[in-house]
Amino acid sequence: MDIISDIKKPENMVYGRPALLTDNVMHYCPGCSHGTVHKIVAEVIEEMGIQDRTIGISPVGCSVFAYNYIDIDWQEAAHGRAPALATATKRLCPDKYVFTYQGDGDLASIGTAEIIHACSRGENIVVIFINNGIYGMTGGQMAPTTLLGMKTSTTPYGRDPKLNGFPLKITEMLAALDGTAFITRQSVHTAAAVRKTKNAIRKGFEYSMKDVGLSFIEVVSTCNSGWKLSPVEANAWMVEHMFVKYPLGDIKDVLK
């Protein structure tokens, strides 16, 4: 134990809570991916030294209170409308880093029109898209991204394509639009995955100042409460099922 108290000194600290995260305790369920993504967004902004030049747009969904957790300027959009607010903000303040943070219900359901046209217009913003395949906040209803056969409170026998349609791979759709610059799909369930997602978010922020178009980072995520699994089981279920439909990796990069 002596060695351990020797190691526990400020000069030996190699990793800790980013200073840009506020002291508020996150309201998320234990193990929710939202918290991990918030952390790496905070790390990227901190490492780039752009705290006073960054404006986030939070969504409607479990992450509606994102503005309570990352100490930057924020706006809170009506459900699905974050890309519209981001468009206005970036056009009025082109020297700011502007990003939206949106769930799959917010972005791929009620906000489909806003995201498609923001991408098509090539707005110089960053979109962070948390795809947990469900409406977490409202009690676990089916989202457009819900997998076939997946049980939700509105598909209690599993999603049936005849009744409920097919899962929407909106990220691939957006990659087909000329206005998008960087499109990638990542996750945060392991340390290696966290590193990759962080690099992708950083690249998105950098591209947003290069006038090359919109950067879109999907993070395949868990909603363990909505999925009715423990956090650890939810991560395993995500790897086994979500990654099949939503494979990880870069989809488009116009500067490569």
Partner 1 sequence: MAFKGTIEIDIQRCKGCSVCIGNCPNKCIRLAKAVNSKGYRYAELANDSCVGCASCAMVCPDSVITVYRVKI
Pairing of strands 180-187, 249-253: antiparallel
The residue with tokens 């790496």 is 40
Stretch 128-157 residues interacting with ligand TPP (CB under 6 A): 130, 132, 134-138, 143
Applying the rule CB under 8 A, the residues between 54 and 93 that interact with partner 1 are none
Nearest to 213 by CA among 118, 130, 129, 128: 118
Residue with tokens 């909106």: 170
Contact yes or no for 248/163 (Cβ under 8 A): no
Write down the least CB distance from residue 120 to ligand SF4, Å: 29
- Given candidates 94, 190, 228, 247, which one binds partner 1 under the rule CB under 8 A? 190
- Exactly one of 41, 217, 226, 238 binds ligand SF4 (CB under 6 A); that residue is 226
By a kind-dependent CB cut-off of 5 to 8 A, residue 219 interacts, out of ligand TPP, ligand SF4, partner 1, none, with: none
Task: Out of 223, 238, 242, 251, point to the residue binding ligand SF4 (CB under 6 A).
Answer: 223
CB atoms within 10 A of CB 30: 9
What gap in Å lies between CA 147 and CA 116, rounded to an integer?
A: 22
Q: Which residues is 186 bridged to in the sheet?
A: 219
Which of 36, 132, 184, 225 lies at the binding interface for partner 1 (CB under 8 A)?
36
Q: Kindly list the residues in this chain that would bind partner 1 in the complex (CB under 8 A).
A: 3-4, 6-9, 12-18, 21, 25-26, 28-36, 39, 188-191, 194-195, 230-232, 235
